[in-house]
Amino acid sequence: MTSDRKGLLLLISLLVLLSSGCGTRQVVVEGRFPSPLMEPLPITLGVVYSDEFANHEFYDEAVGRNESDWLVRTGDAQVEFWNTLLGGMFERVVIIKDHDTLHAIDAPIDAVLIPYVEDLQYTIPLHTNIKVYEIWMRYRFRLVDVSSIHDHDNGDISYYPTESFADFQLSAYGKTPTAFLQSDEEAVNLAAVVALRDAGAHFATAFERVPEVATWLQTIEDKTRDQ
C-alpha cells in the first residue's frame, strides 16, 4: 500500500471518529398543561415575564468522551404553563409585555407577579439503557404594585423587584415516569413537564399561605366588603 493511500485512509478514519462524537443533545420542552380545577380568586393579576424567563434554557457541557452536551430550552413551556395555571387561579390575568400593554389595561390591577427561575439541576443515567432522568427547579416569585412597573420611550418596561411586598420561593421536582421511552430527549422532556406540573401544584397550594400574600388578600377582601 502506498504512503499516499495510507495517509488517505488515516484521514478518513479520523473524520469518522470525529463525526461519531456524542455532540449536543437539544430539547425544546413541550407538554400538555391542564387548567387547575379550583375557584378563581377575585383578583386581577398582572404578570411580567422577563426575557430571561421567557427564553429560559440551560446548557450542560459534557465532561467525558462518552457523554453528550445538553441544551434544554424551557422558555416557551414555562410561559405556556404559567399562563394556564394563573389563568385558572385568578379571575383575570393581564400579561404586561411592553409600554403598549401597560397602558392598554382597562381595569385596575391588584398586583403584578414576576416569576424567576433561580436554579435548575438534572441527573442523567450514565452508562445504562434505563432512560430515567430527574430535574429540580427552584423558582422565586415577587409581587409588586403596578406602580413599580415603569415604561420607557423605546417601549420597554422595567420594574423594581426590591419594592416587592411579597417575595417567596418554591422548588419543583420532575422524574421521567417510565424508563421505556424511545429516546433520551423524550425522557428529558417528560421529566421537565413533570417538574413544571409539580411547581404548579406547589404554587396553587402555597400561594395563599405566604404571610405577606395572606395579608394582601385580606386587605383586598376588606376593601371589597366596604364598597
Domains and CATH numbers, the chain: 43-226 (3.40.50)
Hey, what's the cell of 26?
A: 437539544
Q: Report the pLDDT value the prediction gives residue 150, as an integer from 0 to 100.
A: 80
pTM summary value: 0.82
Condensed to tens digits (0 to 9), the pLDDT of residues 97-144 reads: 877 777 777 778 999 999 999 999 888 776 456 677 889 999 999 999
Contacts of 106 (CB under 8 A, 6+ apart): none
**Residue 100 burial (CB < 10 Å; 0-12/13-18/19+)?**
exposed
Condensed to tens digits (0 to 9), the pLDDT of residues 183-208 reads: 888 888 999 999 999 999 999 999 99
- Residues 122 and 136: beta-carbon distance below 8 Å: yes
Q: Where are the alpha helices (DSSP H) in the chain?
A: 3-19, 51-54, 75-89, 99-103, 184-206, 211-226
Q: Report the pLDDT value the prediction gives residue 17, as an integer from 0 to 100.
A: 36
- Please state, in angstroms and rounded to a whole number, the distance separating the CA atoms of residues 28 and 78: 11
Q: Report the pLDDT value the prediction gives residue 81, as an integer from 0 to 100.
A: 97
